Structure 1
Amino acid sequence: MLGRSLSAIALLASLSSVEAFWRMPCNKPLIVERADPIVNPGKISGHVHTVSGGSNFDLSSTFETLRESTCTSCLVKQDMSAYWTPQMYFQWANGSFTDVEQTSGGIIYYLQRDNAADVGPVQAFPDGLRMLIGNPFLRSYSGSPMAQAIGWNCLGETENIKTPYLPSTNCPNGLRGELRTSTLGSGHGADLTNSAASFLQSSDHISHMAYPEGDEIGPCPSTHPIRIVTLFYEMMWSVDPWKIVRSQGLNTSQPFVLAMGDPTGYGYHADFFDGWDKTVLQEAIDTCTDDSGVIQLCSVFDLYDDNASCAKTPDVDEQVVGLTLAALPGCNPVTYGPANAVPCAVSTSPAVFSSTTVYTNGIAPPGSATLGNVPKVVTSYKSWTYQDCYSDNVGGVRGLPTLLSTAAKTVEACLDACSAGGFSLCSVEYHGNECYAGNTLASSSTALGYEHCTLTCADNALQYCGGSGPAAMELYKLTGAVSLPYLFYPFKLVFGLDYLIFEHFKLNFDFEPYYYHLDEALRCSTTDSSTTTNTTTTTTSTTTTPASSTVSTSSSSSTTVSAAPSASASASTKLTTSPDWTYSACYSDNMNNVRFLPYTLSNPSSTIESCLEACKSAGYAVCALEYGGGECYAGAALSSASTVLAASKCSMTCNGDSTKTCGGPDALDVYLSTSVAALTQPSTPNFATFGPWNYVNCYSDLVNNVRSLPNQLTNSNLTVEGCLNACTTAGAKVCAVSYGSECFSSKTTISSASTVLPASRCGFPCKGNPLEWCGGSAALSVYNLGSSTLSTRSLPSMAELRAAARLKQKRSKGLFKKEPVL
């Protein structure tokens, strides 16, 4: 049975000294995508796999191409083999899916099992061996030798529970998928030097291999006399964090589903594609006979450093992890059995990238073809070209001397400010909150490599905006001529023939530089009663959208929007005849530079039909068009911050169809899928609980210009979960999100000056997930560790006093500036 088959391997302490093996860690997956060059060579696979191994793994891998890999995500440099298993997902009550994290790329055991009756010694794989272990369509236990070699190990705090199916209990220390490969090959005699092709592969990818009779060290059957080294896969899944939402799963007792629609676990399987240097592997089998499993004791191998990384950009242009999916990728309806699942196919498939890129530093190189939900380096914008990630503030000297103010914290906004100022060098850092300019780079600033700038922009989580530890900046250079009507001279009072520049001072001695052309608005005049002017003004604003299109609008009658409004925006100008989509209404978009549908899809023809087709192909439940159809957005649900607008707000003629209308400026024409249900949102988009954290309330911030929580942390993915995880790591007791992404904490409690605000004040959608709320302007969504009640105290801590003193000192020197009051 399963317990007998797995225990001899998993309980390694019981192995005798003659039972040699080594453990090979694969620190991180190489790629997660729908690829399987054994079962579906040259095509997109039927379901998602998590892949470890040689960097040349792709849809059409061969032994020769794997051997040419430049690196591997596993520890041994001479092993360019590929190992893959199905991805795991959590299925929500509304039928949608979120991926579960695999805590590493897995551990592969190499076991030198043999039997006295063997015709020869244990041998290395013949070049290019391929094998599949398990049946992805199984939904019940068969009791076969292969079924006995596959199972699940629920790692508890006091005991482990092994089952052939996915367990119904939580696994505090992880859920481990375990699988032992078949080890006997068909062939003649014991010499594999001239292996027949039938030994390398079979039509079912299984029958060319077999298991020993009885157990793993049993004799070989006559049909498969050649014994090769045994593999044992351990793949660990982090299921414990999901315990707080198990009640929200479709199956509350066992909410996890494998990528092929398997909620039972009986269909668990693995693939192996050999890419070894066979001479090295055979020498290791013959000479590395220690029974400790410590791979470092085998001197035959060249090993990577434990922190080494090897990854590649995807072959398939399909988002399969990192977001909530309306359906499992491919055609994989969830089936419980006991009958086997029936294969099905989809009518459309995602695109395949023409090339992929291998990288070893954690971030794909600038310009690589990556997925839409992955942050990228902005390589060029208008006449600006990316140079590299450069060090900044070395010895207190800034790489570029002039600090500029930008309304949006994005690369484009910073570069536009640099263009307007007449500078030839421009840099952005600290999540885009700092924009520097100049014409000469300080000699102390040096190129670090793009991988050192990993902070995402505050107003666009899909862009990189500098780095930290040490300070680092994304540096851009002006590569073309720019027509400039005037130059900026920051921090000075300058009068010229056609421009005016001055500084707006605040009572607390903070200041904000403002630069005005004489035909622009004097913004201060609308907020300072002490400032008067006879100039008739027009207020101009710029909004940068995820689709990288900048639209300038004015309160005067003129506008630079290219698509003109239609005569009316009635139902007759929408698409109402599609069997796949139903028109909903015109909805607002873009609060605090956050889109209310998170995913941008390509819509080059700018028609309703093409946008809806793109949404359908990607499997989204909600689809919307904006700005004349030039922008097509999608998601599992529309953010609750979005409100219904008058139909006239969505009256912009579709750029590709003059008879239809396609949204408007920050206005979405929303369509709902007739086959994919939208994600059901909570009544309030705040987590009631997340791990040990409990939501408290919406609290004020920056009372008397002092932070209510003193410590700002990096919010890795700009969500509530990302902030709370950072607070947990920092040992905080109170944690809060603000302004859509900012994360603050305290190891004591919140400032006594902070007061409870109306819930509506904390209604900014999170920049990393618009279905969640992340505070507001000077408003904190506050979470408390262990309870939903905050403790109070009358005096601030010494740490807060010191932080406040340092802040006040810096402000008095003009190092910080408040956001202008408009």
Structure 2
Amino acid sequence: MRINMIKWHGATAQTVVLMATMAQAQDTGGFGAMMRFGCAQHSIERLDPLVQPGTVPSQHVHAIVGGNSFNATMTGNVGEESTCTTCTFSEDFSNYWHPALYFRARNGTFKHVPIIANEGIFGASGGITVYYTSPEDTAVKITAPPPGFRMVVGNPTARTRNARGAAYNIYRCYSNGAFDPNPMGVADTDTSEFPKQHCPGGIRVNINFPNCWDGKTLDSADHTSHVRSGYNGCPTTHPVRLPQIMLETVFNTGVFPQSEWPTDGTQPFVWAQGDGTGYGFHADYVFGWKGDSLQRAVDQRCGLDRCNGLATQQQSVGNRCTKPQSVVDDLQAWVPELPGGMVVTYA
């Protein structure tokens, strides 16, 4: 299924990067301030402190960035528990994670697909690009989440675009290492499921979290009921407007030649939970900004990866913020099945 939206032409590559979320802002009032920064990879492992707290290992593999206090059981203010972060803003000890991606070869074996640094995120050790955006209307009050806040977006069991809880995912197929094609906003070649063609320059995927909160519940039993997506303001049940958080990741799919693709014509990439369609992409967020740093950034309508009064660090420093794996899966080897025994499904 292709995404049919406005396509901009004539923009420079740098402009394209800076405005990548313009067409995806979930607000009909227009696009305003946008923070965009990198968070390097600090672990890839089977842990999920929201959906499966305390379970080691969790059901499937995740790619995790942010503060180094990430573990199987996370409660309270994680911003006070981490000693370092992989993010450019060194006061952001939040954790952001989503499933790992695997390649399934024609002989049925699997291998983990590495993540590469996104365009404009120089020197990062893979990881996730994080966006915090605000609407154009400066009269709209944007409130940063409080300590202890967390949420999930997407349904890992979704196998169709209209499945219950399916997130608004956008995939882009790059033809080369220069991030081409890369039109501004959402291109008419973008898809909501895995691209069918070979993508030698990688596959980029992004996902938006809900931007309206009930104002009182830090987390709900299903990790979603306390938040909603507001497309023209927030509903009365969830009146607090949050900054729009989007995650964007580029996977190095070009390292897997087409000679290894399945012979039946199906595309070979699957999410770690066994999703062969791409509709089951999902992501988790645990707030961990220090003090009022995110609120100050939102109030200033900060842009990109610089903000007056907020501390930043070189990406090389973030790259050194790692944590030992609690669950060790061989990410370099070909394996006969997905970690956790997850079975690939398409329906």
Instruction: Confirm or deny a common fold (TM above 0.5).
Output: yes
Structure (1 or 2) with the larger CA radius of gyration: 1
Query: Could you tell me how far 1:65 is from its partner in structure 2?
Result: 4.2
Determine helix, strand or coil for the equivalent of 2:190: strand
Residue 106 (structure 1) aligned to one of 128, 131, 136: 128
Q: Percent identity?
A: 33
Query: Could you tell me how far 1:256 is from its partner in structure 2?
Result: 0.7
Determine helix, strand or coil for the equivalent of 2:222: coil
Determine helix, strand or coil for the equivalent of 1:19: strand
Residue 304 (structure 1) aligned to one of 280, 294, 313: 313
| Native 8 Å contact 1:5 1:149 kept in 2 | no
Q: In the alignment, which residue of structure 1 is the partner of 2:71? A: 58
Residue 235 (structure 2) aligned to one of 208, 221, 225: 221
Q: Does 1:201 align with 2:219?
A: yes
Alignment of 1:387-536 (within 5 A): none
Query: Could you tell me how far 1:11 is from its partner in structure 2?
Result: 5.4
Query: Could you tell me how far 1:24 is from its partner in structure 2?
Result: 1.4
Kindly provide the CA deviation profile for residues 22-61 of structure 1, in whole angstroms up to 9, marking residues without a partner as x.
Answer: 11101x3110000010111111211000000100101012
Alignment of 1:570-719 (within 5 A): none
| Native 8 Å contact 1:2 1:148 kept in 2 | no
Query: Could you tell me how far 1:2 is from its partner in structure 2?
Result: 5.1
| Native 8 Å contact 1:108 1:234 kept in 2 | yes
**Which is further off, 129-138 or 8-17?**
8-17
Residue 176 (structure 1) aligned to one of 187, 204, 226: 204
Structure 1 residues 280, 117: closer, same or farther in 2, change over 3 A?
closer
Determine helix, strand or coil for the equivalent of 1:330: helix
Give distance in 1, aligned partners of 2:7 and 2:283: 16
Determine helix, strand or coil for the equivalent of 2:77: helix
Q: In the alignment, which residue of structure 1 is the partner of 2:280? A: 267
Residue 340 (structure 2) aligned to one of 322, 326, 330: 330
Determine helix, strand or coil for the equivalent of 2:295: helix
Query: Could you tell me how far 1:6 is from its partner in structure 2?
Result: 11
Structure 1 residues 201, 115: closer, same or farther in 2, change over 3 A?
farther
Structure 1 residues 30, 39: closer, same or farther in 2, change over 3 A?
same
Q: In the alignment, which residue of structure 2 is the partner of 1:35? A: 47
Kindly provide the CA deviation profile for residues 466-494 of structure 1, in whole angstroms up to 9, marking residues without a partner as x.
Answer: xxxxxxxxxxxxxxxxxxxxxxxxxxxxx
Tell me the TM-score normalised to structure 1 length.
0.36
Give distance in 1, aligned partners of 2:214 and 2:136: 16
Aligned partner of 2:190: which letter?
K
Aligned partner of 1:334: which letter?
V
Give distance in 2, aligned partners of 1:78 and 1:6: 35
Q: Does 1:319 align with 2:347?
A: no
Structure 1 residues 92, 250: closer, same or farther in 2, change over 3 A?
farther
| Native 8 Å contact 1:79 1:275 kept in 2 | yes
Determine helix, strand or coil for the equivalent of 1:23: strand
Aligned partner of 1:29: which letter?
Q
Q: In the alignment, which residue of structure 2 is the partner of 1:400? A: none
Q: In the alignment, which residue of structure 1 is the partner of 2:168? A: 149
Give distance in 1, aligned partners of 2:312 and 2:67: 14
Kindly provide the CA deviation profile for residues 279-305 of structure 1, in whole angstroms up to 9, marking residues without a partner as x.
Answer: 11101100134xxx4312x12221111
Give distance in 1, aligned partners of 2:219 and 2:31: 31
Q: In the alignment, which residue of structure 2 is the partner of 1:185? A: 213
Q: Report which structure shows greater RCO (CA 8 Å, sep ≥6).
A: 2
Query: Could you tell me how far 1:227 is from its partner in structure 2?
Result: 0.4
Give distance in 1, aligned partners of 2:33 and 2:175: 28
Aligned partner of 2:325: which letter?
P
Aligned partner of 2:315: which letter?
D
| Native 8 Å contact 2:153 2:167 kept in 1 | no
Aligned partner of 1:130: which letter?
R
Structure 1 residues 69, 13: closer, same or farther in 2, change over 3 A?
same
Tell me the TM-score normalised to structure 2 length.
0.82
Residue 289 (structure 2) aligned to one of 251, 256, 276: 276
Q: Does 1:97 align with 2:110?
A: yes
Q: Does 1:235 align with 2:262?
A: no
Q: Does 1:47 align with 2:60?
A: yes
Query: Could you tell me how far 1:79 is from its partner in structure 2?
Result: 0.8
Determine helix, strand or coil for the equivalent of 1:22: strand
Q: In the alignment, which residue of structure 2 is the partner of 1:210? A: 228
Give distance in 2, aligned partners of 1:219 and 1:243: 46
Give distance in 2, aligned partners of 1:35 and 1:108: 21
Give distance in 1, aligned partners of 2:33 and 2:281: 27
Structure 1: state its 5+ residue gaps. 188-195, 338-822
Query: Could you tell me how far 1:117 is from its partner in structure 2?
Result: 8.8
| Native 8 Å contact 1:155 1:172 kept in 2 | yes
Aligned partner of 1:109: which letter?
Y
Aligned partner of 2:147: which letter?
D
Structure 1 residues 251, 177: closer, same or farther in 2, change over 3 A?
farther
Determine helix, strand or coil for the equivalent of 1:325: coil
Determine helix, strand or coil for the equivalent of 1:165: coil
Q: In the alignment, which residue of structure 2 is the partner of 1:780? A: none
Q: In the alignment, which residue of structure 2 is the partner of 1:496? A: none
Q: In the alignment, which residue of structure 1 is the partner of 2:13? A: none
Give distance in 2, aligned partners of 1:86 and 1:32: 9
Kindly provide the CA deviation profile for residues 113-167 of structure 1, in whole angstroms up to 9, marking residues without a partner as x.
Answer: 376895xx101112111111100001111077x6462221212355353111001
Q: Does 1:137 align with 2:157?
A: yes
Kindly provide the CA deviation profile for residues 573-612 of structure 1, in whole angstroms up to 9, marking residues without a partner as x.
Answer: xxxxxxxxxxxxxxxxxxxxxxxxxxxxxxxxxxxxxxxx
Structure 1 residues 60, 251: closer, same or farther in 2, change over 3 A?
farther
Structure 2: state its 5+ residue gaps. 9-15, 117-125, 183-188
Aligned partner of 2:102: which letter?
Y
Structure 1 residues 39, 219: closer, same or farther in 2, change over 3 A?
same
| Native 8 Å contact 1:152 1:175 kept in 2 | yes
Aligned partner of 2:267: which letter?
Q
Kindly provide the CA deviation profile for residues 231-251 of structure 1, in whole angstroms up to 9, marking residues without a partner as x.
Answer: 01101101112134343x365
Determine helix, strand or coil for the equivalent of 1:281: helix
